[in-house]
């Protein structure tokens, strides 16, 4: 069975529109560095949604390292009309530490500052939590609201996906196992899990025969196969009894809207 995010995304968009109509919300500032194609297409996708919604947007793009970066950043970071700042990866190493250390945690929509990460990891309320794991969990909970005691497998250990997801899942009382490229028996872990979050970025690596008959697979991975965007799971091959999120149309589609919704958070 396919678990799509379209309905949830519409609900989030509706909430954003209502807040804009109520006169709430501030500008978004996006910083991009160099010519990374992934960062460029991510920015284009965000821009499209932001423009459709009518959210004021300021974009900053630098081909090479320059003093202007810090000047622009510090101005946006202290401007009270700016509600959120996104620093698209990869960031020039000469400024990465400075930008992340100084980013106002309340404007840190994707939860990259140590303040927000620390608050999430220690179980306290972070201002912002990374949008990708949030979207993945929200999509799962729209189908399976109670995760208490469930065997949940996370295949990814990065700070943007796997690590924050583990903390969100522990809060839900799940029993969490983390796998990565050095894991010896991924096949065994896959067979035991009730729920699988996968973010390897390896096209169609997981098929229905790899998981339990009643497993739920939340696919965060994105990669290209035969010129088409696809996930880690070969979702079209999954049976009726197994639940899987499609790519595209699953986690990725919800991530951007959740990120933008964070602009309207009250503190």
Ligand X SMILES: NC(=O)c1ccc[n+]([C@@H]2O[C@H](COP(=O)([O-])OP(=O)(O)OC[C@H]3O[C@@H](n4cnc5c(N)ncnc54)[C@H](OP(=O)(O)O)[C@@H]3O)[C@@H](O)[C@H]2O)c1
Contacts with ligand X by CB under 6 A lie at 132, 155-158, 160-162, 179-183, 186, 199-202, 220-223, 251-252, 255
CB of 218 to ligand X, least distance (A): 10
Helices and strands (H, E) in the chain, number of each type: 9, 10
| Least Cβ distance, residue 162 to ligand X (angstroms) | 6
Q: Which is nearer to ligand X, 194 or 219 (CB)?
A: 219
Which one, 25 or 252, has the nearer CB to ligand X? 252
Q: Which residue is nearest to ligand X (CB)?
A: 201
Q: Write the CA distances from 228 to 104, 191, 246, 253, 260, integer angstroms.
A: 38, 28, 13, 16, 26
Work out how close the CB of 137 gets to ligand X at its nearest, in angstroms, rounded to a whole number.
Answer: 12
Q: For the CB of residue 90, give the shortest distance to ligand X in the complex, in Å.
A: 11
Q: Which is nearer to ligand X, 53 or 186 (CB)?
A: 186
The H-assigned helical ranges of 22-130 are: 37-53, 68-78, 93-102, 114-121
Nearer to ligand X, 95 or 155 (CB): 155
Give the whole-angstrom CA distance, residue 240 versus residue 13.
30
Nearest to 255 by CA among 223, 224, 218, 226: 218
How far apart are alpha carbons 38 and 43 in whole angstroms? 9
CB of residue 17 to ligand X, shortest distance in Å: 22
User: Would you say 140 or 199 has its CB closer to ligand X?
Assistant: 199
**Which class for 149: exposed (0-12), middle (13-18), buried (19 or more C-beta within 10 A)?**
exposed
């Amino acid at each position: 069975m396919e678990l799509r995010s379209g309905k949830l995304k519409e609900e989030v968009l509706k909430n954003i529109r209502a807040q804009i109509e109520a006169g709430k919300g501030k500008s978004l500032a996006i910083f991009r560095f160099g010519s990374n194609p992934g960062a460029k297409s991510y920015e284009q996708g965000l821009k499209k949604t932001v423009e459709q919604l009518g959210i004021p947007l300021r974009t900053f793009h630098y081909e090479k390292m320059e003093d202007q970066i810090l000047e622009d950043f510090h101005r946006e970071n202290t401007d009270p009309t700016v509600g959120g700042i996104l620093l698209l990866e990869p960031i020039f190493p000469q400024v990465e530490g400075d930008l992340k250390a100084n980013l106002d945690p309340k404007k840190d929509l994707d939860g990259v500052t140590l303040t927000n990460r620390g608050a999430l990891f220690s179980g306290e309320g972070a201002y912002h939590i990374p949008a990708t794991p949030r979207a993945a969990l929200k999509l799962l909970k729209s189908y399976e609201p109670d995760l208490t005691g469930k065997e949940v497998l996370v295949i990814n250990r990065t700070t943007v996906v796997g690590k924050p997801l583990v903390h969100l899942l522990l809060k839900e009382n799940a029993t969490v196992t983390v796998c990565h490229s050095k894991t010896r028996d991924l096949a065994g872990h896959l067979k035991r899990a009730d729920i699988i979050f996968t973010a390897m970025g390896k096209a169609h690596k997981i098929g229905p025969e790899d998981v339990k008959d009643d497993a739920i697979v939340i696919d965060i991975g994105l990669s290209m196969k035969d010129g088409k965007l696809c996930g880690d799971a070969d979702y079209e091959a999954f049976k009726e009894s197994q639940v899987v999120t499609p790519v595209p149309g699953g986690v990725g589609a919800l991530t951007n809207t959740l990120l933008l919704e964070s602009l309207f958070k009250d503190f």
